[in-house]
Structure 1
Amino acid sequence: MSKRQVHLAAHFPGVNNTTVWSDDRAESQIAFSSFEHFARNAERGLFDFLFLAEGLRLREQKGRIHDLDVVGRPNTLTILAALAGVTDHIGLVGTLQTTFNEPLELAKQLATLDHLSGGRAGWNVVTSSDAFHGANFRRGGFLDHADRYIRAAEFVDTARDLWDSWQADAVVVDRASGRFADRSRIRDVDHHGPQFDVTGTFPVPRSPQGRPVVVQAGDSDEGRHLAATRAEVVFSLHTEFEDARRFSEDLRARLQRAGRSADDLVILPGATFVLGDTTAEAEERARAIRRAQVSPATAIAFLEQVWNRDLSAYDVDGPLPEVEPDLDGGPITRGRVRHVRDVEPLVRGWRERAEAEHLSIRDLVIEVSTRGGFVGTPEHIAAEIDRYVQARATDGFVVVPHTNPYGLDEFVGRVIPLLQERGVYRQAYDPDATLRQTLGLDAA
């Protein structure tokens, strides 16, 4: 029986608490040289695709621009188009909103990227009901939270209808008259739904993949439903083995209920890694990295997001604040996804843990905020990745380095060859493959 093959994607490090900007080799998160190095190195590692996040507004805390956003958040599609010119095989996936975009314009941009890259474009579908972000747009924050995924589902359906409106052979080459589009092979789109009215002819011919690959990263029940009904790749937060397996089983069951095959969706949790020549060295490096990820200022800022209070007077190496969270005041943090729904029991649990384990503010934040991942020798990490995939807990991982732009280099140099030796990872790209084919997905 042949082994299941590992799929890997590379997440460009930048605006998150895992990026260590104090590292001596850290460079700009907006300079093209950073994106180019990261993309070329991910392609050297034969990754399926690279993955860029996008922000629509700089995050704020207590009226100040959040420190990790200080050098800006550039446009994803522009960067991916530029990277198409300096890479040959790796997929190019960008995070793009359904709340503040329109289907025709975004479908046109993605189809254009797919043409420019020779069939390597992908779209990470995200939503927002945040009025803070919405204030940058004409509609403001009008969208109710419950309607986010209703709009997203209709958005994806409309974009696919636009992409599918051209037959593959609609563009005709005639030696006498030149190149033209056969109108009989182009279908006008006539969509009328609760979110969108779109009528007319899509302006871009069918792209090399038929349509770009759709990625989804939401973890709510609505997000999982969108993934099971419309996505082709899901980027999850479930990294621990049993948690990852439960998530995968849930998604596979949802796929079946939606009338789709288990192979119609590639599941890739995000995972960090720390390598060492020995287990002890890797664990020591991991402790140092976690401490660098959570600077004193970052620890206080993290706690303030939960307490919803100014805690700058507290000693980061001292105990948790005795003051209770402010549950009624306006939020002091704007633009950040708030994952905490029930603050009081969370804070109570943190206090119990901090007292039992003698943890300072910074120690506790390190324990509860740093991303789970793989720590160990290259051999150990390769074996763990293989174990997850063979057990169908995942189909692979989105690798999230902790430094920019060189953080992926060590993984490519030391882990990828071991996966190849195990026979679970490609030795080379198929030179003619689209991203859809690289991922093992059916043709669109």
Structure 2
Amino acid sequence: MTRPGARQRKQMHLAAQVPGAGSTTVWAGPPSGRRTGFPSFRHLAATAERGLFDFLLLAEGLRLPEHKGRIHDLDAVGRPEPITALSALAAVTERIGLAATADTTFHEPYELARRLASLDHLSGGRAAWHVVASSDAFTGENFRPGAARPDRSECFARAAEFVAAARELWDSWTPGGVPRPFAHHGRHFSVAGTFDVARSPQGHPVVIRAGDAGDEEERESAASAADVFLAGRPGTPEAGRALCADIRRRLAAYGRRPEELKVMPGVTFALGDTDAEAQENAAEIRKQQVSPQGALFALERVWGRDLSGYDPDGPLPGIDPDPAGQVAPGRAPIADPLAVAARWRAVAEAKGLSIRQTVIEMTGRQTFIGTPASVAAQMDEYVTAGAADGFVLLPHHLPGGLDDFADRVVPLLQERGAFRTEYAGATLREHLGLPLPVWKSGRS
């Protein structure tokens, strides 16, 4: 809905994500308890609901990244298991969607489909599943020998069959509440029996897939089965329009319509009363994200060497990277470390930067920086141009980093007629404008 007199325009969707682990987020105050304590998550959910967001997404970190065998300082403490935390949040919220990250490599279809359907019932139709597929053997060691699948394409194939099997389980109950036996026999899974959770309020929880917008395989997986594609950082409006057009073009091959998928890039922001103040706040955030130890950790990822003897406030190493070096298990490898190091050296020499300053300069950037009015205008223009359906915000400071956006930017979006002034429905599918899944009796 829009306010009286507001001009009609395409309205955006908004969501917020809490990362699983890493230096993107700076937790305010003492770390003990805040990262795992329920009050932090309750505050975030309440803020997102006050801001009329579509959903709150909890990321999952199944193993904390290590730095030469030690847990990196900003990754300590970890996060609660997402579905458990969201089940608790269902009791203290009314409308906000609740999205849980769950890895298809380390779960089984019956077990996860059951938990997600239960969350959908407990929340009155607000559950979502952020599907991820891990090929990381380092993480797999936490589960069982051979749990990880080093071949990325094989992980995608397993994930696709996993989602299909989960949908068969959800469809094994008729809309009228009659259970029917299910049987799925595929390459990765062979399961049969009777599902013990009735069809949930949304039919199926909303399915979210995330990925690099330029990755062909990730685009295809989103087109085949996702309700929301959480794209990487947005580029130009032209690039965003091309991405949306490409993904929606692929939908027809799976019997799907364009309105059945929402494209929502992940974004960061920094606000200020003036543009200059916003730039200062953005710079301060980047400084907080990169501690001296974190700077050396980032440098070692590029150089592939032990650089613990270097001074973070000193110059970059004069030695070249070792492309075969591996000092950060659980992290994606650097594609071309020699080229990356050359770019970093060029910037460091041109600006006279230390190691830490170089890492801050080369790795930290907010998507939207400015006053609340200018950030609202930038976001509105991007969506109006057809470059996205909305955004998933990654607040830097938690648990209160979403407050300013909800209180200062959302009202301006509403004044523009670019964002809802109230929830029109009760379920997440209604918030997103997604149709209910058609019950397919042939699956059961």
Question: In the aligned structure 2, how far is the partner of 1:240 from the partner of 1:131?
Answer: 32
2:173 aligns with: 166
What root-mean-square deviation, in Å, do the aligned CA atoms of Structure 1 and Structure 2 show? 1.8
| Count of residue correspondences | 426
Deviations 1:106-129 (CA, angstroms, capped at 9, x unpaired): 000000000000000000000111
1:224 aligns with: 219
* Correspondence 1:299-314 to 2 at 5 A: 299-314=295-310
> Quick check: 1:207 aligned with 2:203?
no
Question: In the aligned structure 1, how far is the partner of 2:136 from the partner of 2:20?
Answer: 22
For normalisation by structure 2, the TM-score amounts to 0.92
Whether the aligned pair in 2 keeps the contact of 1:46 and 1:426 (CA below 8 Å) is yes
2:370 aligns with: 376
2:412 aligns with: 418
Question: In the aligned structure 2, how far is the partner of 1:104 from the partner of 1:141?
Answer: 18
Question: In the aligned structure 2, how far is the partner of 1:142 from the partner of 1:36?
Answer: 33
2:428 aligns with: 435
Whether the aligned pair in 2 keeps the contact of 1:189 and 1:200 (CA below 8 Å) is yes
1:176 aligns with: none
1:237 aligns with: 232
* Correspondence 1:148-159 to 2 at 5 A: 148-159=155-166
For normalisation by structure 1, the TM-score amounts to 0.92
Question: In the aligned structure 2, how far is the partner of 1:14 from the partner of 1:105?
Answer: 22
> Quick check: 1:352 aligned with 2:346?
yes
SS of residue paired to 2:310 = coil
Cα drift, residue 253 of structure 1: 2.7
Deviations 1:56-108 (CA, angstroms, capped at 9, x unpaired): 11221101012222112321110000000010000000110001100010000
Point out the more displaced range, 226-235 or 366-375. Answer: 366-375
Q: Which amino acid aligns with 2:35?
A: Q
Q: Which amino acid aligns with 1:275?
A: L
Whether the aligned pair in 2 keeps the contact of 1:282 and 1:377 (CA below 8 Å) is yes
Cα drift, residue 25 of structure 1: 8.0
Deviations 1:392-426 (CA, angstroms, capped at 9, x unpaired): 11111111111110000011110011111111211
Question: In the aligned structure 2, how far is the partner of 1:349 from the partner of 1:280?
Answer: 27
2:268 aligns with: 272
Whether the aligned pair in 1 keeps the contact of 2:304 and 2:324 (CA below 8 Å) is no
5+ residue gaps, structure 2, are 1-6, 438-444
Question: In the aligned structure 2, how far is the partner of 1:138 from the partner of 1:18?
Answer: 29
Question: In the aligned structure 2, how far is the partner of 1:15 from the partner of 1:297?
Answer: 16
Cα drift, residue 317 of structure 1: 2.6
Equivalent residue in structure 2 for 1:335, among 330, 344, 366:
330
2:400 aligns with: 406
**Cα distance, 1:197–1:13 mapped onto 2, change above 3 Å:** closer
Whether the aligned pair in 2 keeps the contact of 1:244 and 1:269 (CA below 8 Å) is no
Equivalent residue in structure 2 for 1:31, among 34, 37, 41:
37
Q: Which amino acid aligns with 1:398?
A: V
2:283 aligns with: 287
SS of residue paired to 1:217 = strand
Whether the aligned pair in 1 keeps the contact of 2:72 and 2:294 (CA below 8 Å) is no
> Quick check: 1:11 aligned with 2:4?
no
Question: In the aligned structure 2, how far is the partner of 1:101 from the partner of 1:410?
Answer: 37
2:385 aligns with: 391
Whether the aligned pair in 2 keeps the contact of 1:304 and 1:310 (CA below 8 Å) is yes
1:361 aligns with: 355
5+ residue gaps, structure 1, are 171-184
Whether the aligned pair in 1 keeps the contact of 2:23 and 2:75 (CA below 8 Å) is no
**Cα distance, 1:140–1:149 mapped onto 2, change above 3 Å:** same
> Quick check: 1:192 aligned with 2:185?
yes
1:263 aligns with: 259
Question: In the aligned structure 2, how far is the partner of 1:69 from the partner of 1:227?
Answer: 29
Point out the more displaced range, 210-219 or 361-370. Answer: 361-370
Question: In the aligned structure 1, how far is the partner of 2:64 from the partner of 2:281?
Answer: 31
SS of residue paired to 1:438 = helix
